[in-house]
Structure 1
């Protein structure tokens, strides 16, 4: 027994000696690393600290959206959670999804339709994998956006607005160019006593104020305000949809989320405030004062002469109009982030088609000539100058028709933004008619 104890004691001593040696070895490595760092030049240390700060900033200014693509679920109609329970959660949360990215072209060939995913059974999700999607945030905590209601109320209280216009700008401030300025010019040229609220993360800043200063210097009423989605969507079905998006109850889809947020935002803004919504690639030609609760058709069926598709680039509605509520509910209940136009032009088309026979909402569907006198696949001809007598005759006739029948012209910026505005073209002449400053170099440039 004594020999066994002696043997065990010897082995324990060896183990302790080995551990002690390991500790001393690690201490020597630490001292070596510290000595090495201390010997580095100050400039190199500063560079290392800067890289560390940049890494941390990217980690902080990002939004995490759970992608339930790994879940095994049965496809069923999408249903929102209890709005009362969602509202309790919304009180605790702030609007953190303040997005500003450049618009992208709709994909020529969409990925396979993934459909909308209903609220998931947590047990069916493999939590080991999680997809992280990053969006450029203007404010990490959304603090600057929380004053949306206050800023809008103050702006409207001190402005005598004969009419109220809304625009949304989801892109960076650097991409807000002279053609977008033309759209604002044309609005005020036809509506000098109106007010414009430009809902945008990127433009609600000192640089944005400088961009819009030429208008305010002329006494025109325009303001850029960051959206507070929690505040704007409150007490509508959009509130529960937005909370579901943040909680990952359905996929955002392959279409840029910012475009779909813009589609929803315009509907809720008009529902809450009333007025006119315009895309920033719409040139206004004449007053909308005689239009009320109107939407424009984009295309007409050649056989029946009835509209076949509507568009949401121009919307004119009274506050709390019931059709706007139908639009918002349709967005929240049938959202699909994988089909381009599903939550925009196709959405308003679907809803109006259902109520069109009864027309109990007293809504006017205007012909394509009102806002869309040229379709997206033919917009290039509006940018070209006439090359011969026949071209000149066509331009003259087209201009007469537009000036007589159109309230505005949608420029289809995705297709036309790279086109040069040639002198003598239809667009050149329409801009010349509708400008306020009329000294822009991009009359003839990209």
Structure 2
């Protein structure tokens, strides 16, 4: 009886001790983006095997979906972005980079079919991007090592905003979001540019940076702004807001339209019609039957995936369907119902 009471009291004391003093280690609670460092089979890493030229176009997939699925995955709309860039820019090397580990598997799923269609293009390469190595010895490395990126309100979006700047800093070239459709060759554009999405904001869904000169100064200032004023609380605060703030300094103006015809220390800001002909406020137009001819002057379209990802076209004559059928025909033939 006494022995049982003694054991019971001892157990109570031990439990109180652990409840009061024990704190779980950081490793016991996985952080968002931990998949970036997961072990397992993965594609060759671009930082190890490639030295992309300035004539390269980059897409970066920063979600952990491939890790979750156990294979490299892509959506029809993402695949359309890649195909359209490859088809309209045959002299560019197109890199589709995944921060999550994985391999391209056999033609079983819709995603597999899309990926196999893309890698048939001679100028398309699918690679891994080691995020931790990409940040190594940069001014924003501590944002990751101190978990500020991982614990931000939008960790995937934040990691993407930073990754594109570092890739362009390292290699030069053109970065594109995976919810774009490219409709023309990019050869006629200047080497260093960004594109305004409206009269009040310059977006970072399209960025072109040369290996030297004003483009690299733009990247340096953006990274410094992130280092000094990082905030993970609002969508876009570490993306378009940073780009807009830096370009106001480089262009010496608070007015976005005043940037269009101005030499901003060797950097160019194009007006919205070049890549954002339909603003995000009216994104539903892409899914309606509206005259596509009005977009012929644009180099591409941005379909605002954050808002439109669940939308479907009301006919095969909608803007998105007509453009996809023409500019990503292989993907459209496989998955037309997604446009």
Aligning the two structures, in what range does the TM-score lie when normalised by the shorter sequence? 0.7 to 0.9
Whether the aligned pair in 2 keeps the contact of 1:204 and 1:224 (CA below 8 Å) is: no
Aligned position for 2:204: 312
Alignment of 1:155-304 (within 5 A): 156=52, 163-171=55-63, 172-173=65-66, 176-202=74-100, 204-207=102-105, 211-229=114-132, 231-243=133-145, 245-246=146-147, 254-291=152-189, 292-300=191-199
Alignment of 1:30-45 (within 5 A): none
Distance 1:361 1:233, change over 3 A: farther
Distance 1:130 1:377, change over 3 A: farther
CA offset at residue 201 of structure 1?
A: 3.3
> Is 1:374 paired with 2:278?
yes
C-alpha distance in 2 between matches for 1:195 and 1:438: 19
Aligned position for 1:134: 31
Gaps of 5+ in 1: 1-16, 27-125, 301-307, 386-394
Aligned position for 2:324: 431
CA offset at residue 218 of structure 1?
A: 3.8
CA offset at residue 169 of structure 1?
A: 0.9
Distance 1:416 1:144, change over 3 A: closer
Whether the aligned pair in 2 keeps the contact of 1:189 and 1:436 (CA below 8 Å) is: no
Per-residue CA deviation, residues 310-367 of structure 1 (Å, 9 max, x unaligned), is: 0000001112511111111111211101122110111100111122128553111000
SS at 2:233's partner residue? coil
Structure having greater relative contact order (Cα 8 Å, sep ≥ 6) = 2
C-alpha distance in 2 between matches for 1:360 and 1:142: 45
Distance 1:369 1:210, change over 3 A: same
C-alpha distance in 2 between matches for 1:350 and 1:196: 29
Aligned position for 1:328: 223
Whether the aligned pair in 1 keeps the contact of 2:54 and 2:211 (CA below 8 Å) is: no
Tell me the TM-score normalized by structure 2. 0.77
> Is 1:347 paired with 2:249?
no
Tell me the TM-score normalized by structure 1. 0.60
Aligned position for 2:15: none
CA offset at residue 440 of structure 1?
A: 2.5
RMSD of aligned Cα (Å): 3.3
Aligned position for 1:365: 269
Gaps of 5+ in 2: 9-20, 106-110, 254-262
Whether the aligned pair in 1 keeps the contact of 2:79 and 2:118 (CA below 8 Å) is: no
Per-residue CA deviation, residues 367-414 of structure 1 (Å, 9 max, x unaligned), is: 0001111111211122112xxxxxxxxx33xx223112x111000011
Please identify the structure whose Cα radius of gyration is greater.
1
CA offset at residue 164 of structure 1?
A: 0.3
CA offset at residue 214 of structure 1?
A: 2.0
SS at 2:50's partner residue? helix
Whether the aligned pair in 1 keeps the contact of 2:40 and 2:102 (CA below 8 Å) is: no
